[in-house]
Structure 1
Amino acid sequence: MNRRTKTAAVAAALLITAGAAGSATASGDGAGGGREAAALTGTAKLYRPAGDDITFSFDAHLAAKDTMDPQAATGTFRYSHYKNGKGGYAVATVDCLTTGGTVAVVTGVVTETDLDDLKGKRVGISVHDDGRRDRLGYSWVGRDAHLEVPPCLSAAPFEKVRAGTGDFRVLPWHPVYPAE
């Protein structure tokens, strides 16, 4: 075998081995070391023509072992809204995360805030990670914004993020149903 053929054979073997290892890692086995069941991460600022400074950040995860229990999700999310030196912020502990394709819905209970009437309340946020200009929605919109939000629910992602700020990443959830 000439040197060029040997080099090509070794390179092909390495690529095949790397591909097999990558496939095994991506499939996950639910016993650690594999792909988590779902995730929502990233930060973005909302677009508002009046100059409001509105930021949302997410670090929400659902472990592979909890694939069938989105309410076992962990992490936090934070949002703030300021304009002309007035406004507030909130930090919530995640209590549910569902994702489908490039859309995620996360809910959490506010644990830290400078808005007294918000502490201890559950809020929901939705994200569409479209790879170009992400979108976001939240549960405190509409006439009945004061109602209790159930876990795993929010409004559709109706807000546009400011160009160049959306780095949301949604890891799609793939529930595993028992065979019939």
Structure 2
Amino acid sequence: MSRIAFSPARTRLPALAAALLIAAGATGAAAAAGNGQEGGAGHRPREAAALTGTAKLYRPAGDDITFSFDAHLAAKDTMDPEAAYGTFSFRHVFPDGTSGWAKAKVDCLVTGGKVAVVTGVVTDSDTPFKGKRVGVTVHDQGTHDRLGYSWVGRDAGNQQLPKCVSSAPFEKVKEGSGDFTVLPWQPIYEQPKG
């Protein structure tokens, strides 16, 4: 009967080295995949929430409607969505060539999963919305994003919209026109004491 000669120390050393490499890789991957609230040396913390991108809405009648977002909530403001900053804008060109546009300064951003609600006060516009708060909701579904806005209904021009409020995302984004990206908000809740 032949015996295979091997040294237990030679076998254990490569196995230990492999285990250490796997553990180091797993630890690094876990840190990179974490909630990002803490940054390591040279790394900035992940922002608390964001809504970015530009796309056109689908309208079979030929309307050209574009929404653009650059809204952010810094990591240091994780528990204060009203500390959000940035802008969003929209432009609607009707089939007859008439148009309306507006640009708003963000005053609240809340995201959950792939849905974002952003509100802001219109700072510049050729519509009656100038100086008023409006809200927009985006559902980030890749190439099939959806969008909704607060100015629906007969009294849209008279509404007094609170921060962080909008409607369901009832509009479809025109295929191939762009893409919205939602960074999910991850609130940090205090643990009960005792």
Normalising by the smaller structure, the TM-score range is: 0.7 to 0.9
- Taking structure 2 as the reference length, the TM-score comes to 0.80
Unaligned runs of 5+ in 2: 1-9
Q: Which residue of 2 aligns with 1:87?
A: 99
Distance in 1 between residues matched to 2:135 and 2:84, nearest whole Å: 14
3-state DSSP of counterpart to 2:142: coil
Q: Separation in 1 of the partners of 2:141 and 2:149?
A: 17
Partner of 1:29: 38
How many residue pairs get aligned? The number is 174
Following TM superposition, the consecutive aligned residue runs of length 4 or more in structure 1 with deviations greater than 3 angstroms are: 8-18
- The match for 2:68 is 57
Gaps of 5+ in 1: none
Q: Write the letter of the residue equivalent to 1:27.
A: G
TM-superposed CA distance for 1:124, in Å, is 0.2
1:59-138 aligned at under 5 Å gives the runs: 59-83=70-94, 84-115=96-127, 117-138=128-149
Instruction: Determine which structure has more spread, i.e. the larger CA radius of gyration.
Output: 2
Identity of aligned residues (%): 64
- Alpha-carbon shift at residue 145 of structure 1 (Å): 1.2
> Equivalent residue for 2:5?
none
The match for 1:162 among 161, 165, 174 is 174
- Which whole-Å CA distance do the structure 2 matches of 1:112 and 1:149 have between them? 18
TM-score, length-scaled by structure 1: 0.86
Q: 1:145 aligns with which of 140, 153, 156?
A: 156
Cα pair 1:40 1:104 within 8 Å, conserved = yes
Instruction: Judge conservation of contact 2:104–2:120 (CA < 8 Å) in 1.
Output: yes
Q: Secondary structure at the match of 2:76?
A: helix
